[in-house]
Amino acid sequence: MYSGKEPNWTEELKNRKTGDTNFVQCGWCDHASGVHQYGACLSGSCTFISRANETSVKYLKNLKKEVDWSDKCQIIHLTHYKIERLIRMWERNIDGAKSKVKRLEKETDHLRDVSKTAYVMPPLPDNRPWEYYNEGDRIAVTFDYRDRSEDGDKPLFVKYGALLDMWMVATVKEGYRHHDGVVSYEIDKLSESKDGGWGSGTGTPGIFKMESVRHFIKNPSDYTEWCILFMADTWRSKPNWTIPEPKIIDWLYLLEVVE
């Protein structure tokens, strides 16, 4: 928050764009970073000075680090020799960045090669693409039964979590924001779900494709690892949650229903 004296916000100043005062005044300079309003940097720092202060360019350390919108440019008053030295330093940074990009590109190519033969598990919720579920897909959905009053609440609702014992089989259908981050479905043994409005985000953990169910039944230790990885991600965003002990759900009856 800016506590100094703001500009007299005339229409001209309000319509100024960042870059209009490069190397003249800090307010509308591309290289001023900090608290902004109407495209002006009211207070902050000069990126040239901040970046150069990380090096051994001692003469820049005497320059004012914090700048105000009304300050005149300090860089423009440096001597030719000092500016040339800055240019050389920036060129070294560019060369270093290019070298780093090349190294990262090479490492990325190697990782792509390794990924082709890597062991594949069903994706974690946050890694599912928006179009992950297709119309007609058979899925397993986890539910939590609750007693409801007569206020019109549905007797079932999707439980946020994949560690419950109650699972039902459903079919993906065309619905709201299909292939846009949302999946709609009809529950086989729940007539209420055929009226529409049943679904969730593709990142909801309590929904699995049947191919994932088959994978976990065949590889139960993968489900344990999947739960641990999911809860670890959830723990970072919701530190007050407790992490339940992962357990293997008996999904064989689901396959009997589907096949």
CA distances from 234 to 154, 201, 204, 249, 250 (A): 27, 16, 12, 20, 24
φ/ψ (deg, to 5) at 207? -135, 125
Q: How do residues 53-107 score in pLDDT, each as one tens digit?
A: 666 566 666 788 889 999 999 988 888 988 888 888 889 889 999 999 999 999 9
Q: Which of 127, 138, 133, 130 is nearest to 213 (CA)?
A: 138
Q: Strand, helix or coil at 42?
A: strand
What are the tokens at 224? 């344990």
Q: How do residues 152-185 score in pLDDT, each as one tens digit?
A: 443 333 333 333 346 778 899 988 889 998 999 9
Torsion sign (Cα): 148, 152, 154, 157: negative
Q: How do residues 120-142 score in pLDDT, each as one tens digit?
A: 999 988 889 888 999 999 998 87
What are the tokens at 54? 């990380």
Question: Cβ distance 182 to 199 under 8 Å?
Answer: yes
Q: Which of 196, 189, 141 is nearest to 174 (CA)?
A: 196
Domain boundaries, the chain: 11-78, 125-258
Q: Is pTM, for the whole model, over 0.75?
A: no
